[in-house]
Amino acid sequence: MNQASRPFTEQTVLITGASRGIGASIAKRFASVGMNVVIHYLQSHEAANETARSCMKHGAKVLTATADLRNREQIMRLQEKLDHHNMMPDILVNNAGIAHYGVLSDVTEEQWDEIMGINLKGTFLTTQQFMKPMISQKYGRIINVSSIWGISGASCEVVYSTAKGGMNAFTKALAKELAPSGVTVNAVAPGAVDTLMMANFDSEEKAALESEIPVGRFAQPDEIASLVYFLALPESGYITGQIISPNGGWLT
């Protein structure tokens, strides 16, 4: 059966970096309709299991899997595991990423490589590996979780902004490449979201940041998850190559 004609709730979604934060909320959103959910993590084993338990409460089939997405061999082993469990993804959500704060003059080469490796190389290697079955079945959804800073840039977040800007360009180009195969590629570029990534800001800094946002608050992770879910729907098949930024009017 062609995947496009298979019920949406019987499809499988792989979310990278899904042990907590936005990734965990995305996993729970798909699980809420009973979909098959693969929760990827790097080191946060117990957090991933907690997310899995939340997903299973909805009756979803859930699998947790670890891999360093900077390593092609580990991604190949991840794919083998998913194939063994008959959970090859129809939907890939590239959410794994790390932030970095500091002036560019203080950034070391090792920090640059780590940020680019996790945010950008990991997206490249994971997408390259899992898009192949989507192309074969002439159906698939690839959704990259980017950042508002990948669109506008941010002082003291030059490396992170560069990585997310690269993800946005990757999204636009790959969307054109995969469109004839029935695979859409989009990016969600959130503004400030109330997750652990905001932990580096103190209460005064957070208040100052919120005052710049027209809606007057940070986004909740489940609000980002709802947009990711919408882009994954079969009826969203005409949306591709787009960078959509849910940011409360911060950037228009």
Active-site positions? Answer: 160
Beta partners for 94?
144
Q: Dump the DSSP string for 17-41.
A: T-SSHHHHHHHHHHHTTT-EEEEEE
In three-state form (DSSP H/G/I as H, E/B as E, the rest C), the secondary structure along 68-82 is: CCCCHHHHHHHHHHH
Sheet strands side by side (includes 36-41): 62-66, 36-41, 12-15, 91-94, 140-145, 183-188, 243-244
Q: Is 211 exposed, middle or buried (CB count within 10 Å of its CB: 0-12, 13-18, 19+)?
A: exposed
- HSE (CB half, 13 Å, CA atoms) of 24? 17
195 membership: H or E segment, kind and range:
none
Question: Is the Cα dihedral 23, 207, 250, 112 positive or negative?
Answer: negative
- HSE (CB half, 13 Å, CA atoms) of 100? 26
Q: Helices 158-178 and 122-137 meet at what angle, rounded to 10?
A: 10
Main-chain dihedrals φ then ψ at residue 244, nearest 5 degrees: -105, 125
- The whole-angstrom separation of Cα 176 and Cα 250 is 29
**Cβ contact 15:39 at 8 Å:** yes
